Amino acid sequence: MKLADYLTANGLSPADFAERLGVHRGTVGRWIAEPKPGKPRFRPSWEELAKISAATLGAVTANDFVDDAGESNGEAAADPSAPAVDQVQRPAVAPRVA
């Protein structure tokens, strides 16, 4: 479910949802806004995606921020056999050596 649809279905404004997540209301507005022609869509960070999924009880996931054409961040879609966005594991960070 798209974030805008979730907000509408649950009677929430972007400002209400932003307060729940601890982000600026303009940030939520940019997540749900249609991008200008030739410009990439504004996407949440991995940390923000986790908060969105938790706040919506899983109704909105990382996959919901991928355009219908399979594009994310204005880039052409990758190999269709590639894992979905929420199936990609982030690499572990090596500890710093002092």
Q: Which residue has tokens 């303009």? A: 26
- For the segment(s) 3-75+82-87, the CATH number from 1.10.1760, 3.30.460, 2.60.40, 1.10.260 is 1.10.260
How do residues 47-61 score in pLDDT, each as one tens digit? 999 999 999 999 999
Contacts of 27 (CB under 8 A, 6+ apart): 18
How do residues 65-76 score in pLDDT, each as one tens digit? 876 555 544 444
Q: What is the largest CA-CA distance in the chain?
A: 51
**Average pLDDT across the chain, whole number:** 79
Give the residue with greater pLDDT, 90 vs 28: 28
DSSP 54-81: HHTTTSS-GGGGS-TTS-BTTBPP--TT
